């Protein structure tokens, strides 16, 4: 006997009771759906509100495309252009403004390129040494103004620095993230510290940097007394990343900066949602970027699928020089053209890349005006044979 027949045999009172029951069930289902939708909306509003705390750069006045940088894409070849489209390169800048929350002025003490391979879900991190001798003004390729790379940020912020990187290295960077070092301190503290192996040479200098960092942040300095693998708090980790007095000088410091970032990423991927919320509320106001909110949501949603696979420093083969005057001590690319070739092999596994006329011109000007060629560099085999991974760059090793 069918359901309709059964219901039809019910008394009027029983049928009324059954109808009320069905209506109540529908109301419960509808209420659950409404609550679910409300939670989604509230979650989206929370994320959006948090993202709005990030200082956004004004994209309306900035065109960072290669065509606006006097780079002829046709020179790079269709194969290279197509290959680079599979990657998303982001410029990361760290500024030391004594943690005043303003990440839009001064020299950039940290210049990094994060290259995201969207196919393999791998990320490579390249430190461009802050004293690297590049064209910071980016006016015309025929009359460049070579200077320390960190000067570009003082001239025109992140946008000017990206122009410098794109023109000098044949890159197609459009997005950037700029942070004050206070961000590192805050994030590490909220993650419960990071594991760092401190050696004897680093221990000699780290406590001085702990004191200066703590004075800037208002924290109580806690000195390190032993070497070896240990958990560093935010002030200690920031101090570790600022050491430049050991062998390798600024090259070793860039390596330490990448090490701290790597440990932060590893720790963040294991943390819980309340901690992530706390980081969002505390740290997002200290970040400046030209990513849109939707871009950030897209990247964040895929964060746990990506791995930091490798990191190194650029230039691969370099020549420290004392030029005097306003230029001071600089790091000259020993053959910029071949260093850039090696960079494209490292980032994109691109063996067909041919440097643009802009890069070739820069390289020739450095050779002719300063007499620095490939044989003057500290690691010519890295740019000749592509032996980048595992090479020791004067104290700065690929991780």
The residue ranking higher by pLDDT, 23 or 44, is: 23
Whether residue 336 contacts residue 319, with contact meaning beta carbons closer than 8 Å, is answered with no
Q: pLDDT per residue over 225-284, tens digit each?
A: 999 999 999 999 999 998 888 877 778 888 888 899 888 888 887 888 788 778 877 777
CB 371 within 8 A of CB 284: no
pLDDT (tens digit per residue) in 147-200: 999 999 989 889 999 999 999 999 989 889 888 878 888 889 999 999 999 999
Q: What percent of the chain has pLDDT over 90?
A: 30
Q: How confident is the model at residue 129 (pLDDT cuts 50, 70, 90)?
A: very high
- Residue 391's pLDDT band (cuts 50, 70, 90): very low
Report the distance separating Cα 162 and Cα 90, nearest Å: 9
* pLDDT at 312 > cutoff 50: yes
Looking at every residue in the chain, the average pLDDT score rounds to 78
Look at the domain 57-183+271-397 and name its fold.
Answer: Nucleotidyltransferase; domain 5 (3.30.420)
The answer to whether 369 touches 153, Cβ cutoff 8 Å, is no
- Domain ranges across the chain: 21-51, 57-183+271-397, 191-254
Mean pLDDT score, 349-367: 91
- pLDDT for 45: 52
For residue 239, how many other CB atoms are within 10 A of its CB?
Answer: 27
Per-residue confidence band for 286, with pLDDT thresholds at 50, 70 and 90: confident
Please tell me the distance from the alpha carbon of residue 87 to that of residue 124, in angstroms, as a whole number: 11
3-state secondary structure labels for all residues of 24-85: HHHHHHHHHHHHHHHHHHHHHHHHHHHHCCCEECCHHHCCCCHHHHCCCHHHHCHHHHHHHC
Is residue 154 a contact partner of residue 274, using CB atoms and an 8 Å limit? no
Distance CA 123, CA 155 (A): 29
Please tell me the distance from the alpha carbon of residue 234 to that of residue 228, in angstroms, as a whole number. 18
pLDDT at position 43 over 60: no
Where is mean pLDDT largest: 60-69, 234-243, 288-297, 316-325? Answer: 234-243
């Amino acid at each position: 006997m069918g359901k309709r027949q059964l219901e039809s045999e019910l008394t009027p009172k029983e049928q009324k009771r059954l109808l009320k029951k069905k209506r109540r069930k529908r109301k419960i289902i509808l209420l659950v759906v409404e609550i679910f939708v409300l939670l989604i909306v509230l979650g989206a509003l929370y994320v959006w509100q948090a993202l709005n705390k990030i200082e956004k750069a004004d994209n309306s006045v900035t065109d960072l495309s290669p065509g606006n940088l006097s780079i002829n894409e046709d020179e790079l070849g269709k194969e290279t252009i197509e290959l680079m489209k599979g990657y998303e390169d982001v410029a990361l800048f760290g500024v030391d403004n004594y943690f005043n929350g303003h990440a839009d002025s001064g020299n950039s003490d940290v210049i990094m390129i994060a290259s995201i391979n969207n196919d393999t879900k791998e990320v490579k991190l390249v430190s461009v040494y802050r004293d690297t001798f590049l064209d910071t003004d980016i006016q015309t390729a025929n009359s460049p103004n070579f200077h320390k790379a960190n000067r570009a940020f003082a001239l025109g912020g992140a946008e000017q620095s990206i122009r410098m990187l794109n023109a000098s290295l044949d890159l197609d960077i459009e997005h950037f993230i700029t942070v004050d070092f206070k961000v590192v301190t805050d994030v590490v503290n909220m993650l419960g510290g990071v594991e760092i192996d401190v050696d004897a040479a680093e221990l000699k200098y780290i406590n001085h940097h702990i004191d200066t960092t703590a004075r800037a942040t208002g924290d109580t300095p806690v000195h390190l007394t032993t070497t070896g693998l240990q958990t560093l708090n935010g002030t200690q980790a920031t101090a570790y990343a600022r050491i430049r007095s050991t062998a390798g000088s600024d090259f070793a410091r860039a390596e330490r900066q990448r090490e701290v970032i790597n440990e932060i990423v590893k720790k963040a991927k294991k943390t819980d949602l309340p901690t992530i919320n706390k980081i969002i509320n505390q740290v997002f106001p200290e970040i400046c970027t030209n990513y849109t909110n939707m871009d950030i949501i897209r990247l964040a949603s895929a964060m746990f699928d990506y791995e930091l696979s490798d990191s190194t420093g650029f230039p691969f083969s370099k020549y420290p020089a004392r030029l005097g005057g306003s230029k001071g001590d600089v790091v000259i690319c020993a053959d910029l053209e071949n260093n850039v070739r090696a960079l494209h092999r490292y980032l994109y596994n691109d063996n067909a890349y041919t440097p643009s006329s802009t890069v070739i011109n820069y390289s020739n000007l450095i050779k002719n005006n300063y007499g620095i060629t490939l044989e003057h560099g500290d690691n010519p085999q890295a740019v000749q044979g592509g032996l980048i991974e595992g090479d020791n760059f004067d104290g700065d090793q690929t991780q």
